[in-house]
Amino acid sequence: MPVTIKDVARVAGVSITTVSHAFNGHDDVSADTRDRVLQVAKELNYRPSHVARSLVLQQTHNVGLLVSDFNTNPGGHHFLFDVMAGVHDQLAEFGYDMTLLSTTTAMQRLVSYIDFCTERRMEGVIVMGMRMNDPYMREVADAKLPSVGIDLPILSPHCGYVMTDNIQGAMHAVRHLLAKGHQRIGFINGHAEAVVSVDRLHGYQTALREAGLKVDPDLVVHSNFLVQGGEEATTVLLTKAPDVTAIFYASDLMAIGGMRRLLRMGKRVPHDVAVVGYDNIDLGEWVVPALTTVAQRRYDMGKASVDMLMGMLRRQERPRACLLTSEMVVRQST
């Protein structure tokens, strides 16, 4: 039904070879015929088939964005959406398309996501939202398919990653609190299976030691990155260590929950307890008091992952570990 290169050739009175050459700017076609071909193509509204071209060129210009548990990722949009935008835009910059994949749907189709990508002849895949204990982890690591993980620190012959330097980020946050004179600084972390949690804990501890303080295990509580988790963990923390004067939360959502709980307990933020979050979600600016937080460059993470993948694809670069810096956003909660 759609108009093909044959139609153009027939109407323009040339061979399909010539049409192809005219379209792709080869120099063995006279200016006259080139113009005529292009004119005819425009009149017929000809659009070359990406599918046919993919088949003959053996490259699809298509990469997958694999999101773990896309549909059931509570609060995920605060982080994933911007990363996705970065991935998409930068792929477009290179002339690549982005196909969205989810582990859940892959699972229910009963094919590994690698098979899924192979069938579609995807040139690579970017993975995000996955935990270290995810069953798909090994598959990502072992795959021949060029891939880049976001917040998923796997280095293998075909798999690189990009993530925020969470150690540095957490150190920033704790140093900021130390500079404000705090000594008893609580840390409410995300779940331990998240790789970022490990690093943030490490950064928290390092910053304390750096200041000559001892690391008190009672000051650290694990939670789930969400508002309610932040609330509950705050109660736990305050019973274990009632003397904290500052709390560092591993996500803004938990920090918002924490502030809410602190308020309930009659503690004033930042007067009685200072609060720092992590992520810089848009609403952090508008809660009361406005949230001091560590900003991740989400959009840039998406872009960087594409850059790495393109390097692997087009310049045979080896996969790397790419760490992006983060920066403090100081507002009223400290």
Residues that bind a second copy (CB under 8 A): 1-2, 47-52, 54-55, 58, 60, 62, 65, 70-71, 74-78, 80-82, 84-86, 88-89, 92-93, 97-100, 102, 104-105, 108-109, 115, 118-121, 227, 253, 256-257, 260, 263, 282-283, 285-288, 299
Q: Kindly provide the b/e burial profile for residues 310-324, where b requires at least 16 CB atoms within 10 angstroms of the residue's own CB.
A: bbbbeeeeebeebbb
Residues 6+ apart with CB under 8 A from 99: 62, 63, 64, 65, 120, 122
Residue 21 binds: one of a second copy, DNA, none (C-beta under 5 to 8 A by kind): DNA
User: Number of helices and strands (H, E) in the chain?
Assistant: 13, 12
Burial of 184 (0-12, 13-18, 19+ CB in 10 A): middle
Among 10, 11, 17, 238, binds DNA (CB under 7 A): 17
Sign of CA dihedral 176, 179, 180, 182: positive
Residue 31 binds: one of DNA, a second copy, none (C-beta under 5 to 8 A by kind): DNA
Q: What is the pairing mode between strands 124-128 and 147-150?
A: parallel
Min separation Cβ 127 and DNA, Å = 25
Nearer to a second copy, 107 or 328 (CB): 107
Coil vs helix vs strand at 143: coil
Q: Is residue 71 within the footprint of DNA (CB under 7 A)? A: no
Q: Is residue 10 within the footprint of DNA (CB under 7 A)? A: no
| Site track 20-59 with DNA (rule: CB under 7 A), x = hit | xx-xx--xxxxxxxx-----------xxxx-xxx-xxxx-
Min separation Cβ 210 and a second copy, Å = 34
Min separation Cβ 284 and a second copy, Å = 10
Sign of CA dihedral 230, 297, 153, 92: positive
* DSSP 8-state class, residue 327: E
Nearer to a second copy, 91 or 201 (CB): 91
